[in-house]
């Protein structure tokens, strides 16, 4: 039994090496060069990499961000055509300029500039080692890497105000009297605050990434893709408003603001899962309609 498990383990290790040996020498050189470049970049810009990773872990708004890298790789691998890798020295100009942007962000304490520069340097490295032809073919997957950047926190106050105002309107329409002062909604059960965590930024950013991935993989034409992503963003905001209104309505009906506890977080994720399911269902119908339209025009 032990020998069999050892044999399977060795086979598992042997497969990647076999795949590596099966690659053309140009691809092996390009992949090795880019890997060393990425490692060196991470070491040199470690504060930025650590800062990004810290926000991925600490904020629920950015838990999805680490998935951007493997998903970008998947988008690249699913493309059937690729040019033979060749060094593209002009990309070094971009590397130098982006390095300057990173230094400026570091000196000024502008995290967003550091993070954008870091991801942009990875993209410039891909162009440097794999060539400009592949960089053009991979433009969308490479741009998808910007979802690694923990951005959008500045939208939270505006989302809070929108959510509070719309939730108040929904409660009044449903026959539950509610008044609002800023982000505080008061009903017969007491005051409810639309806190930062209830603003829906996590819904918005995750919906942006999921819809962009789906649009790239299943839809054709920039109008359809942009339209689907725009719809996803509107749907995410609307879903969060409905979630907040339902939670406040339930607490008001039970006449106790204290009933809102950890349960509303679970409810939020269930609501979010339903929103994503609806989004994918609509996207699938769009892809099917697109396919039927294409077949009919042939």
Give the tens place of pLDDT for each residue, 128-143.
999 999 999 999 999 9
Q: What length does the chain have?
A: 298
pLDDT > 80? residue 75: yes
Based on the number of CB atoms within 10 Å of its own CB, is 252 exposed (0-12), middle (13-18) or buried (19 or more)? buried
Phi-psi map region of 109: left, alpha, beta (phi>0 left; psi -120 to 50 alpha): left
| Chain mean position to CA 169 | 31
Q: Do 132 and 82 form a contact (C-beta atoms < 8 A)?
A: no
Alpha carbons 205 and 33: distance in angstroms, whole number: 32
Please list the alpha-helical segments (H only) found in 131-262. Answer: 132-137, 139-144, 156-173, 201-218, 222-253
**Cβ-based neighbours of 252, under 8 Å, separated by 6 or more:** 171, 176, 178, 187, 188, 189
Q: Do 208 and 62 form a contact (C-beta atoms < 8 A)?
A: no
95 vs 239 pLDDT, higher one: 95
Question: What's the token pair of residue 170?
Answer: 């929904």
Question: What's the token pair of residue 98?
Answer: 């982006």
Report the helix count and the strand count for the chain, using DSSP H and E: 12, 3
Please state, rounded to an integer, the average pLDDT across all residues of the chain: 85
> φ and ψ at 292, to 5 degrees?
-65, -40
Strand partners, 185: 180, 192
Q: Do 217 and 225 form a contact (C-beta atoms < 8 A)?
A: no
Residue found by looking up tokens 């603001």 in the block: 257
pLDDT in tens, 250-297: 888 877 655 555 556 666 677 777 877 888 888 888 777 777 666 566
Alpha carbons 13 and 7: distance in angstroms, whole number: 10
**Banded pLDDT at 3 (limits 50, 70, 90):** very low
pLDDT in tens, 185-218: 988 878 888 888 788 888 899 889 999 998 888 8
What angle is formed at CA 208 by the lines to CA 99 and CA 49, rounded to 5 degrees? Answer: 30
Segment 10-14 shows an average pLDDT of 49
pLDDT > 70? residue 243: yes
Alpha carbons 119 and 75: distance in angstroms, whole number: 17
Q: What are the strands, taking DSSP E only, across the chain?
A: 179-181, 184-187, 190-193
* pTM (2 d.p.): 0.82
Give the range among 113-122, 242-251, 266-275 with minimum mean pLDDT: 266-275
pLDDT > 80? residue 5: no
Alpha carbons 232 and 209: distance in angstroms, whole number: 10
> φ and ψ at 63, to 5 degrees?
-60, -25
């Amino acid at each position: 039994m032990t020998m069999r498990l050892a044999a399977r383990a060795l086979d598992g290790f042997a497969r990647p090496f076999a795949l590596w040996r099966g690659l053309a020498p140009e691809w092996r050189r390009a992949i090795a060069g880019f890997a060393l470049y990425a490692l060196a970049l991470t070491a040199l810009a470690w504060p930025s990499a650590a800062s990004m990773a810290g926000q991925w872990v600490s904020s629920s708004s950015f838990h999805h961000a680490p998935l951007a890298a493997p998903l970008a790789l998947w988008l690249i691998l699913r493309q059937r055509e690729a040019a033979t890798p060749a060094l593209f020295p002009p990309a070094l100009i971009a590397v130098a300029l982006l390095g300057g942007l990173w230094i400026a962000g570091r000196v000024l304490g502008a995290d967003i500039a550091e993070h954008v520069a870091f991801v942009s340097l990875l993209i410039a490295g891909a162009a440097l080692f794999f060539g400009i032809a592949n960089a053009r073919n991979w433009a969308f997957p490479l741009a998808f890497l910007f979802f690694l950047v923990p951005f959008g926190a500045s939208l939270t106050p505006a989302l809070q105000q929108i959510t509070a105002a719309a939730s108040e309107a929904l409660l009044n329409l449903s026959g539950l009297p509610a008044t609002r002062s800023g982000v505080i909604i008061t009903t017969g059960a007491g005051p409810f605050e639309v806190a930062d965590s209830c603003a829906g930024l996590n819904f918005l950013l995750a919906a942006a990434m999921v819809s962009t991935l789906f649009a790239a993989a299943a839809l054709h034409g920039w109008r359809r893709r942009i339209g689907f992503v725009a719809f996803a963003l509107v749907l995410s905001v609307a879903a969060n408003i409905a979630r907040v209104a339902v939670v406040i309505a339930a607490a008001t009906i039970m006449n106790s603001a204290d009933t809102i506890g950890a349960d509303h977080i679970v409810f939020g994720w269930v609501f979010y899962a339903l929103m994503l399911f609806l989004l994918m269902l609509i996207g699938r119908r769009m892809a099917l309609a697109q396919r039927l339209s294409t077949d009919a025009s042939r």
